[in-house]
Amino acid sequence: MPLQRRTTLALLAATAFCAAAPALAQSDFPGKPVNIFTPFPPGSGPDALLRAITDKLGALWKQPVLVQNRPGAGGFVVFEATRRLPADGYTLVQLDSEQLAALPLLYKARNFQTLQVYDMVASLYNTPFLITVPVNSPWKNVGDLVAAARAQPDKVTYGSWGIGSPAHLGGEQLELGTGIAMQHIPFKDSGQMFTALAGGEIAWALGTIPSSQGVYKANKVRYLGVATPRRIPQMPELPTVAEAGGPKDFAQSSFVVLAAPKGIAPTVRDRIAADVAKVMQDPDIKARMDTFAFEYVNWSPDEIVKQANTKGQMYGRLIARKNISLD
């Protein structure tokens, strides 16, 4: 065979091998341990459920799936730990809707757009918030809260676990929806906030079932309403905020997803998403979600982006209204 022809055939074979190599690697995913980074601290509701999910994924993939906690700085600790890692599916990041939608608006000076840095991979669940008051509060429903705030502008206090948190922005949303004015009291974290609420240091707060269950089970706080369009099955006797005398369209929840550094191959992304969806139907996972009142959502990556942008529009109005900033 002439030398030139042999050289040409060798080059064609090498080119074909190089083109096929990524596809082969993707079809073999995962071929090594997978790390899932989370901005939530160990022991929190999102962390606890994530660990249960990773156990199931590890069994399905026959590879270790490791949780890497990186809490702090509103999410920027986990961003700095992951944003430059390879987009090969072996690095995933647990993020909530506020880190996708509110954070870019609160830290404008950083010019950080979460949706431009990460690809959405799989949706996990939605978390409802509940309006919570001290057990001895005189208010019987949300209508009483609104009436008290209207009678005493800027006197009724509500807490949150930080400026720009869902609890803070939910309070701003209640103000906007009713025309009232209240005093926001930020705390270091939700535990500190609920301790203050139980002690009567603040009048009310928004919280989730996992974050409030300690003081709730100790009979130190009670719920006035759940900030969802429908009642939740875990507490069917609890009215929605609208049913309890609040704005008819008031809703505050947070959804949680898995993302990856920008550029993940669609085949790998789709494999992960399909396996996560399978795991989320596991009876043990469903039972754990029921305990936390987490609602499974099965969204495509495009739907996740759409939902985040919708939240971003709402948060944008609230943040601009009070010029809220974390810069």
The pLDDT, as a whole number, for residue 24 is 41
**Contact call for residues 101 and 231 (beta carbons, < 8 A):** no
Enter the pTM of the model.
0.89
Spell out the domain ranges in the chain.
Answer: 32-126+254-322, 130-226
- % of the chain exceeding 70 in pLDDT: 92
Task: Tell me how far apart the alpha carbons of residues 160 and 149 are, in angstroms, rounded to a whole number.
Answer: 17
Q: What is the pLDDT of residues 241-292, one digit of tens each?
A: 999 999 999 999 999 999 999 999 999 999 999 999 999 999 999 999 999 9
| Topology of the domain comprising 32-126+254-322 | D-Maltodextrin-Binding Protein; domain 2 (3.40.190)
Average pLDDT in the 170-182 region?
97
Q: What is the pLDDT of residues 192-249, one digit of tens each?
A: 999 999 999 999 999 999 999 999 999 999 999 999 999 999 999 999 999 999 999 9
Task: Tell me how far apart the alpha carbons of residues 237 and 225 are, in angstroms, rounded to a whole number.
Answer: 10
Q: In whole angstroms, what separates CA 87 from the centre of its chain?
A: 21
Q: What is the pLDDT of residues 49-75, one digit of tens each?
A: 999 999 999 999 999 999 999 999 889
pLDDT band at residue 27 using 50, 70 and 90 as cut-offs: low
143 φ, ψ (degrees, to nearest 5)? -60, -35
Q: Are strands 204-207 and 157-160 parallel, antiparallel or unpaired?
A: parallel
Tell me what the pLDDT averaged over the chain comes to. Answer: 92
pLDDT band at residue 23 using 50, 70 and 90 as cut-offs: very low
Average pLDDT in the 143-172 region?
97
Decide if 32-126+254-322 and 130-226 have a common fold: yes
Q: In what order do the strands lie in the sheet with 130-134?
A: 183-186, 157-160, 204-207, 130-134, 221-226
The pLDDT, as a whole number, for residue 20 is 42
The pLDDT, as a whole number, for residue 174 is 98
Axis-axis angle for helices 266-280, 283-292 (nearest 10): 80
Architecture of domain 130-226: 3-Layer(aba) Sandwich (3.40)
Q: Give start and end residues of each alpha helix (H) in 36-189.
A: 45-61, 76-82, 97-101, 103-106, 114-117, 142-151, 166-178
pLDDT band at residue 45 using 50, 70 and 90 as cut-offs: confident
Task: Tell me how far apart the alpha carbons of residues 188 and 102 are, in angstroms, rounded to a whole number.
Answer: 18
**Contact call for residues 238 and 19 (beta carbons, < 8 A):** no
The pLDDT, as a whole number, for residue 31 is 96
